[in-house]
């Protein structure tokens, strides 16, 4: 039993010695927090930055890929999401027939959509692209020339 008591005393001494070392390490950094902030009555804080004002302007033109494009006038008989195969779309007097309505890219909060159309008279393919949350601002019409869709300058689209 005497051996157990000696071992217990040694481990107790080691534990208190480690605690003392830890306390010394904490005190090596300088003054305590209480001492550091004791005289904070005369502290001057920086002034807050002025809030940025948001400008609300009516957008006349949209800049896309370096060139300015007039906003397209849209006349809709139903929501654009409901356009399906066989529906007619009028683009500046050109009557197109909808072939497919699909998602190009799903960006999470918004989707980039494409309506594939064709002109039954001239046998040309067209594509109407838009973002589903900003149809009026993002609607663009493309014409297929050989293997590349080229954007058309359009003023009015109806369906």
Does residue 93 lie in a domain region?
yes
Nearest to 143 by CA among 158, 126, 120: 126
The domain tally of the chain equals: 1
Q: Per residue of the chain (159 residues), give pLDDT as tens.
A: 565 555 655 566 566 655 555 555 555 556 666 666 666 666 666 777 776 655 444 344 445 455 555 678 888 888 888 999 999 999 999 999 999 999 999 988 999 999 999 998 998 999 999 998 988 889 999 999 989 999 999 999 998
| Cβ within 8 Å of residue 88, ≥6 positions away | 95, 96, 97, 98, 159
Q: Are 73 and 64 in contact (CB under 8 A)?
A: no
CA distance 90 to 117: 11
CA distance 117 to 142: 10
CA distance 22 to 94: 83
- Is the pTM higher than 0.85? The answer reads no
If one counts every other C-beta atom within 10 angstroms of the C-beta of residue 120, the result is 9
Does residue 120 lie in a domain region?
yes
Does residue 136 lie in a domain region?
yes
Does residue 84 lie in a domain region?
yes
Does residue 71 lie in a domain region?
yes
Q: Are 124 and 143 in contact (CB under 8 A)?
A: yes
CA distance 116 to 76: 17
CA angle 15, 17, 18 (to 5 degrees): 65
Does residue 23 lie in a domain region?
no
If one counts every other C-beta atom within 10 angstroms of the C-beta of residue 60, the result is 8
Query: If you search the block for the tokens 């003054």, which residue do you land on?
Result: 31
Does residue 41 lie in a domain region?
no
Q: Are 87 and 100 in contact (CB under 8 A)?
A: no
Domain that residue 146 falls in: 61-158
């Amino acid at each position: 039993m005497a051996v157990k008591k000696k071992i217990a005393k040694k481990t107790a001494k080691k534990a208190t010695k480690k605690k003392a070392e830890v306390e010394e390490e904490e005190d090596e950094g300088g003054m305590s927090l209480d001492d550091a902030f004791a005289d904070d009555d005369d502290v001057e804080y920086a002034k807050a930055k002025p809030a940025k004002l948001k400008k609300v302007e009516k957008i006349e033109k949209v800049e896309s890929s370096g060139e300015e494009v007039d906003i397209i006038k849209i006349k809709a008989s139903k929501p654009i999401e409901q356009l399906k195969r066989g529906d007619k779309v009028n683009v500046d007097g050109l009557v197109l027939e909808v072939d497919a309505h699909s998602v190009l890219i799903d960006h999470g909060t918004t989707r980039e959509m494409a309506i594939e159309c064709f002109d039954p008279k001239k046998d040309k393919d067209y594509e109407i692209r838009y973002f589903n949350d900003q149809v009026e601002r993002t609607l663009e019409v493309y014409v297929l020339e050989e293997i590349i869709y080229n954007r058309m300058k359009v003023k009015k689209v109806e369906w």
